Structure 1
């Protein structure tokens, strides 16, 4: 119950301690305690019961009309600095509040399908070009040359890319007020983290089913590419590898289109409970992303220098491209080590 009481105190903290608000706070506490007892009686664990109470009673503005305190809430919000988030200290970012977390979750929920559409279009963009060039010319399925097919397929690809980018840009407008939560510029709050865990648990069923379907599609997506590649190598068969690549992209895009719209709750949990500054972090703490960003700011310019020096001085343009996959794999390893080290330090701190 301590978590619920702390949560209740945090809900009313931004507002003045008037007799009416104090009375409403007592009423709400009784309601929350009853809801907690009912959840325990229904067989839920302590954490599940607390999470349910926080979810059901997490927005004071929604409860204000029933409690009869809507005028007081509106009046307090109109006053300067009443709703400003409290600071984590003289140096740390502000602590995330539950209304901010709920705004982030709502933005992700309402734009989840938009995200799936945009990403699927970007993945699918090259499919028309591959399909047309793979069925024209020597393939003999379309009465046109490969160059003619490219002239048709390339504009279609660019249109799909432009459409996907436009969709994602328009989606980003929904996150203007919570941009700091997406970039990790906040301090975690235990109550908000508990609420985020509950939110993810409530929506894990549809997400798991969608993920299973998507993984199945991603696994079988290799079949068209491999099959057409093998078929093209057989005597008497034409090259249909490009067509196989197009079918592979379709299956990958379909998997993303199915999965991403169901991932909004898990994504919200990840942003609120795994990103940002831990509440008990010492002064001077930096996130793993910050450290990786500092490394990247020097790593990639150095990689470019190595690539250009190698290419120009040794005239090795045909082989110097290997710098990029090697650099990518190496940087991925560095990022993994930094993230793992940060998690181990956080675990020891707890």
Structure 2
């Protein structure tokens, strides 16, 4: 009986929407946000449709739509490039006209952060061209140095064109519980709910109860998790900069997006990542895995404590000394 309901408890919707701009029909509880982005792609796109995705990007963002049969058009998102000029060009120069723009800010892997004005421009462009916006806000709370990650739904009128995904995995350290939600445009939420009814069931009731408790309870745990990642970030970035590998400490996420040092740049990210494994015993993600425009970077994940991070730094320092 319990599994008949996608959202068993009405209060879970109120907790997600925080009683503000989103009504109950504009919120959908999910069995995690990761794979549900594939379902929203299946709900609104099909073969012959096209979608705009920043490059580099987390693989589920383009490939979720590939699974749905859509064609992906990449929008370059790198330093020194005007993203909005690239976006407008992609909209005007592609046929058929793109139906969806996928965003992820704060971003994985690039750690790219935006202000509310960015989303204001996105919403205006989406309305002008009749494009849906799917924004992944997975790292909403993992922010540092006074930065606050905006929600696209803070923009007046965003509900007309946008939905936003959130997961409890990062903010509340609940990976594996598989619980999150999607908030925003009721038409898109309805389409997602419909296809979910064919492909999966509601989340296990105790997990929904736990999610409500997390969202409505003492938020000190979120601050503690964020501070943990900040300490790891500081140790890693300080250590890399001290050895001559120049990196900018990210303002958000649990990653460091590091440009490959000049002496190794010709290798490309995949071979450089292999070198770090072999010679320094340090695992990084090669930037090419996130798109062609990421090949000059690697991604560090802040998943180890400070002691283990310093151990990794010693291995990197030794490699740099041997290669100088």
Tell me the TM-score range normalised by the shorter chain.
under 0.3
Please state which structure has a larger fraction of its residues in helix.
1
TM-score by length of 1: 0.24
TM-score by length of 2: 0.25
Query: Computing the radius of gyration over CA atoms, which structure comes out larger, 1 or 2?
Result: 1
